[in-house]
Structure 1
Amino acid sequence: MEVVLTIAAPVFGLAILGYLAQAFGWLKEGASQTLATFVFNFAVPALLFRSTAGEPLPHDLPFTYLLAYYLPTLAIYGLGVLGSRYLFRRTKMESVIGGMANSYSNLVMFGMPLVLTTWGTVAAQPFFLLVAFHALILFTITTVWLEMLKARSDAQGEGLAALTAKTVKSLLANPIVISLAAGILYGQTGWGLDPAIDRFLELLGQAVTPVALFGTGAALRQYRLGGDLMEATAVSLSKLVIHPLLVWAVMTFLFDLPPLWVAVGTLSAAMPVGVNVYLFSERYGVFQRRAGSVVLITSGLAMLTVTLVLILLGVSG
């Protein structure tokens, strides 16, 4: 019960406050997007650079850690595609969105505050390594797959080449990737941070948790339950239960990673479905109502499932 009172309840309480603020009209339209932009472009890079600039990267660990997280994540992505296609009889394009919903965690707006609240900045390095590759891997796979399904066979090569160039360009301009790389490189110099700069980055980084959660709650106000709720519920349970369980098992028994890194990876996998799944469904005109339902259901159930995960990981508050 202590973990609920000291970690989960305050975190989800901020999201609920944001939801109510948007519902009662206390926020202007588009406010949640403005908050998200501030978090992603300013607060997160400051926190990430500060936490990595003075912490040497563990030798030979990141690649193994990334493999231990993304192998089970891609496995459950594939299972989600098969389930949507053959169990719920969806089209191929709908099934791809279904697979993404099974595996795409809301790492930035939900995961980041929870991880940092639970373990502090010591968890920043393993967490942001996942964040740096999360959208790159899952966005690319989903986009390529959907584009291949909708494009003519003679236009696939051109489409993939353009996608590759766009992906590389986006990666090089990504604030999280830039700050992660800059922090790691600076950390190797051993110079340390000037006290004034360190305090500036600390103050900016402290805005991550409250602003991200408040903004996420406000953004959730736009979604509604609809479509096949049985399918949406099945996808939600797969995301909140099977995904973290699979990541934990792979990290623990196949790769034998340090406990903190296992815990961060497991909690990251236990996050609700990210809103980008809904944005993909809107972009391609498939699975929209179910995607909106999955975002809402997982966000609503996450307090219960995340609390359970924290207890199982031995976090007492």
Structure 2
Amino acid sequence: MSALSLIAPIFGIVLIGWVASVAGLLSDRVSDGLSEYVFSIAVPALIITTLTRPGLSGEVNPTFWVSYFGGAAIAWTISSLIARRREGIERKGAVLHGFAASQSNTIFVGVPMILQAYGEDGAFPLFMLLAVHLPIMMAAATFLVEVGSDRPLLERLGGLVAVLARNPIVIALAIGLTLRLVGIAPAGLAKTLIDGFAGTASVCALIALGAGLKRYRLAHDLPGALTISGLKLVVHPLAVWLLAFHVFTMPPAYAGVAVLFAASPVGINSYLLAIRYGAEKGVIAASVLASTLLAIVTSIGWLMVLGRA
């Protein structure tokens, strides 16, 4: 399968979602509802059905985590340092710039792209990385933003744990891993229902992403958005590629999953965090849009580098 034939359906569906939203066929209310469905039901079902699938096996070496999060730390640091040199951006804003440059849009882009590129070989490392990606990245960003806050550290960490404990993705990963450890797989009606929801995850996620892009604007801070996008789409995956393929040793599918995970565009969680802290909302919203558009090209490049073309 060529890289273009793999990428075209993914971003083609995103384009259809955007066109439908601009044309008024999908209202903002429908777009929000579809996003909530994907995040709360469809992707959790996909996670559970994948993790409990017979024959799915694998073992994650610590170097897999070091490669991915080492690359994320490099992109985060560079982005924060660049932001601090720009006029008007304080420490909190610089942290958010770093978070945006290293937080991947895994649910809406990463999962569909990686499963298409690596199939069964990539499923186990993908969901193992997904299991720790959100908690680690959100914990790091929250801690760094609030390090100068008057609130006690334990109170801040407790609030973060409470948020993650209610997150449908985290809950689904916990359920799937528990069922896998005890050797139980959904059967009968339960399996039919879970598989039905799981089958809608990719298309609905991509439509929701496309429809949501209408809300973002590039005009707010195009240079800043392009800087964050370049770090996210090039520097982050490049650092992971160097670590996974040239510093450490691991199965090629594991290394490839880590690179494509890093090569996903800026995650929407970075925009939500910017809203929460009331800083850098415009540039991070613009980076979500810019990186998603640029990912059409950069994803093809990374798939060629990985030999998936």
Q: Distance in 2 between matches of 1:198 and 1:283?
A: 38
**Contact 2:74 / 2:239 at 8 angstroms: preserved in 1?**
no
Q: Give how far 1:193 is off.
A: 4.3
Question: What's the CA shift string for 1:11-61, capped at 9, x where partnerless?
Answer: 1011111111111111222222211221122111222112112356534x2
Q: Distance in 2 between matches of 1:191 and 1:127?
A: 21
Cα–Cα, structure 1 residues 70 and 225, in superposed 2: closer, same or farther, change >3 Å? same
Q: Give how far 1:7 is off.
A: 1.1
- Matched with 2:9 is 10
Is 1:290 matched up with 2:283?
yes
Cα–Cα, structure 1 residues 47 and 122, in superposed 2: closer, same or farther, change >3 Å? farther
The CA RMSD over aligned residues, in Å, is 2.1
The residue type equivalent to 1:140 in the other structure is A
Q: Distance in 1 between matches of 2:268 and 2:181?
A: 36
Of 208-217 and 82-91, more deviation after overlay is shown by 82-91
**Contact 2:56 / 2:120 at 8 angstroms: preserved in 1?**
no
Alignment match of 1:278 (pick from 266, 271, 279): 271
Cα–Cα, structure 1 residues 88 and 263, in superposed 2: closer, same or farther, change >3 Å? farther
- Matched with 1:58 is 58
Q: Distance in 1 between matches of 2:287 and 2:246?
A: 30
TM-score norm. by structure 1 comes to 0.89
Q: Give how far 1:175 is off.
A: 2.5
- Matched with 2:30 is 31
- Matched with 1:92 is 91
Question: What's the CA shift string for 1:273-313, capped at 9, x where partnerless?
Answer: 11222222233232222112211111111010001111111
- Matched with 2:256 is 263
- Matched with 1:76 is 75
The residue type equivalent to 1:65 in the other structure is F
The residue type equivalent to 1:146 in the other structure is V
TM-score norm. by structure 2 comes to 0.91
The residue type equivalent to 1:58 in the other structure is G
Cα–Cα, structure 1 residues 254 and 87, in superposed 2: closer, same or farther, change >3 Å? farther
SS of aligned partner of 2:35: helix
SS of aligned partner of 1:305: helix
Q: Distance in 2 between matches of 1:240 and 1:312?
A: 14
Q: Give how far 1:91 is off.
A: 1.9
Q: Any unmatched runs of 5+ in structure 1?
A: none
Which aligned pairs between 1:52-201 and structure 2 lie closer than 5 A?
A: 52-53=51-52, 54-55=54-55, 58-59=58-59, 61=60, 63-86=62-85, 90-149=89-148, 151=149, 155-156=150-151, 158=152, 160-201=153-194
Is 1:234 matched up with 2:227?
yes
**Contact 2:56 / 2:124 at 8 angstroms: preserved in 1?**
no
Q: Give how far 1:222 is off.
A: 0.2
Q: Distance in 2 between matches of 1:69 and 1:168?
A: 23
Q: Distance in 1 between matches of 2:299 and 2:196?
A: 27
Q: Give how far 1:182 is off.
A: 2.6
Q: Distance in 2 between matches of 1:15 and 1:56?
A: 29
Question: What's the CA shift string for 1:71-102, capped at 9, x where partnerless?
Answer: 22122211211111136673222211111121
Q: Distance in 2 between matches of 1:168 and 1:281?
A: 19
SS of aligned partner of 2:128: helix
Q: Distance in 1 between matches of 2:271 and 2:40?
A: 22
Is 1:244 matched up with 2:243?
no
Question: What's the CA shift string for 1:148-196, capped at 9, x where partnerless?
Answer: 34x3xxx24x2x2222112222333332223223323322344554255
Of 10-19 and 253-262, more deviation after overlay is shown by 253-262
Q: Distance in 2 between matches of 1:224 and 1:29?
A: 16
SS of aligned partner of 2:27: coil
The residue type equivalent to 2:197 in the other structure is L
**Contact 1:51 / 1:121 at 8 angstroms: preserved in 2?**
no
The number of residue pairs the alignment matches comes to 308
- Matched with 1:222 is 215
Is 1:314 matched up with 2:297?
no
**Contact 2:79 / 2:94 at 8 angstroms: preserved in 1?**
yes
Q: Distance in 1 between matches of 2:240 and 2:231?
A: 12
Of 85-94 and 102-111, more deviation after overlay is shown by 85-94
Cα–Cα, structure 1 residues 271 and 191, in superposed 2: closer, same or farther, change >3 Å? closer
Is 1:41 matched up with 2:40?
yes
SS of aligned partner of 1:103: coil
Q: Distance in 2 between matches of 1:103 and 1:191?
A: 35
Q: Give how far 1:108 is off.
A: 0.7
After the TM superposition, which segments of 4 or more aligned residues of structure 1 sit over 6 Å from their partners?
none
